Structure 1
């Protein structure tokens, strides 16, 4: 219901802009397309193809063993380790895409998937180091504090989600073997699935980039706050460039990040309320930690 209303509002805004402010719409669309083409496709498209192939060929065992300490602590099925790995290293919406594929393969339960997605579906280390530290902050010395704060808050969030929100969940799920398709058909299917998902992500990035440009054009006071709530990448470019003030927004991920995540779920696997709650918990924890650091610095 909410998603349909939001889609209708977005369509109305885009149509209104195309008639009244075509220059803003064109600039927003070009910036969104540039972000999709230069950042998202190189980072995510090859991973999506490879991830689909790895999952369908049941080749995730090495990654699962590597992530076993974390899945053990969180009392998750060890096969959920691949979803956590995807979220920690590849960014939005790799964790969601991997976990949804694992559920469709009957490898993990929906509960396992939702715990992983709500906890670890975040921006990638490449985004934090390359875009946040080097382009926005222009300071390589920020790597360590940014990474420590962000990933420690991610870990705290995962414990809250697992042991408070999902406190009654017990891992009693048994994996079911699914017949493996022919390798040629599997690769074709993986490529088509990746193309479909990357196309959806591009559409959302362009739409929310247009909205961000509208905010910057029409809202005179502190548009960066609303921009970061809508689309984090565009919002960071107009932020105050102090990582302790914008890291909570990165943890939240923005409305665009949420819609990107939901777009890869075609089987209603993701519990949207749990996911949104998880992102807000992460943002609040990050805000608290950043506030403590600011107090110590002053």
Structure 2
């Protein structure tokens, strides 16, 4: 019930924003559409379609055959779970969530393994971090190796810790799809499923772009608070605002940007929830794990900045 009232409140706020500030609201929506069209559509739609085909044709385990022994030892995951782990770290939000949800719904992995993987395998892509975040916005390309180590090292360490020695079961497939069963019906279904997913993401990007713009127009006492609020809502706008916020030093801006990237924003959480519907996976548990990971990344960034300042680097 509480979630319902939150959704009703946000819907009413955005509706009033559209009525009272139509120019600003439509501008934010247009920016969200451009972000979706230029960044998400060409990257994620092909992956959604191809990953759906791989799952339908029982091909996910084959792609990770070489690295499975290492990942099994470190994370206890099944062969199909290894595909979720790799995809979630390489392809960006919300690919990890989409892959975990698909594998659980298709009974390729257990729900317990899916929840475990979801807690640390849904991350910002290396291309987003190195290109948009560190090079275009923060102008800190020299920090790319360190930043990638933090953003990906902390979740990997988290996954090893919360595993608690578990070895997740390898579920036996009921019946693999044979060559004679492969048809364009499977391809059509995967294309339609991919299109549905990418359209959902576009809707969330538009709504959260409007919320971020509304937040910027509120009379908050400090631009730093506005920057933090925007970053918690949506990481693309939040990182861009962090880079130009007048009340932040370079070290603090970098630390906040890394924390926003590790968290993924409430927009990323909403996208994740849409990707795992019908799988039984918990959005609340995912949100707690991402918040904890983000806090650890922020604290580590702060410690590194203090060490750099004290040592003269």
- Which category describes the TM-score, using the shorter chain as reference length? over 0.9
1:96-107 aligned within 5 A:
96-107=97-108
Distance across 2 between alignment mates of 1:201 and 1:252:
17
Using the TM superposition, give the Cα deviation of residue 64 of structure 1 relative to its aligned residue in structure 2, in angstroms: 2.3
| Contact 1:67–1:85 (Cα < 8 Å) also in 2 | no
Number of residues of Structure 1 aligned to a counterpart in Structure 2: 294
Distance across 2 between alignment mates of 1:179 and 1:265:
24
Q: For structure 1, which segment, 217-226 or 32-41, has the greater mean C-alpha deviation from structure 2 after superposition?
A: 217-226
1:57-206 aligned within 5 A:
57-68=57-68, 69-163=70-164, 170-172=167-169, 174-178=171-175, 180=177, 182-206=182-206
Report Cα offsets for 1:96-148 as digits up to 9, x if no partner. Answer: 11111112221110111111111110111111011112211223222111111
Report Cα offsets for 1:156-188 as digits up to 9, x if no partner. Answer: 22123323xxx7x55245333246354211100
Q: For structure 1, which segment, 170-179 or 241-250, has the greater mean C-alpha deviation from structure 2 after superposition?
A: 170-179
TM-score by length of 1: 0.93
| Contact 1:119–1:161 (Cα < 8 Å) also in 2 | no
| Contact 2:119–2:285 (Cα < 8 Å) also in 1 | yes
Query: Is 1:267 paired with 2:278?
Result: yes
Structure 1 unaligned segments of length 5 or more: list them: none
| Contact 2:104–2:279 (Cα < 8 Å) also in 1 | no
Distance across 2 between alignment mates of 1:269 and 1:126:
31
Distance across 2 between alignment mates of 1:71 and 1:22:
53
Q: For structure 1, which segment, 54-63 or 108-117, has the greater mean C-alpha deviation from structure 2 after superposition?
A: 54-63
Q: For structure 1, which segment, 176-185 or 18-27, has the greater mean C-alpha deviation from structure 2 after superposition?
A: 176-185
Cα gap change, 1:3 to 1:66, in 2 (>3 Å): farther
Q: For structure 1, which segment, 218-227 or 254-263, has the greater mean C-alpha deviation from structure 2 after superposition?
A: 218-227
Q: Secondary structure at the match of 2:44?
A: helix
1:13 maps to which residue? 13
2:240 maps to which residue? 237
Using the TM superposition, give the Cα deviation of residue 197 of structure 1 relative to its aligned residue in structure 2, in angstroms: 0.5
Report Cα offsets for 1:236-279 as digits up to 9, x if no partner. Answer: 11114632232112111110000001101231432122111110
| Contact 2:57–2:176 (Cα < 8 Å) also in 1 | no
Distance across 2 between alignment mates of 1:295 and 1:63:
42
Once superposed, which parts of structure 1, at least 4 consecutive aligned residues long, lie more than 3 Å away? 178-182
Structure 2 unaligned segments of length 5 or more: list them: 244-249
Q: Secondary structure at the match of 1:112?
A: helix
2:55 maps to which residue? 55
Q: Secondary structure at the match of 2:120?
A: helix
Q: For structure 1, which segment, 3-12 or 229-238, has the greater mean C-alpha deviation from structure 2 after superposition?
A: 3-12
Distance across 2 between alignment mates of 1:113 and 1:67:
19
2:247 maps to which residue? none
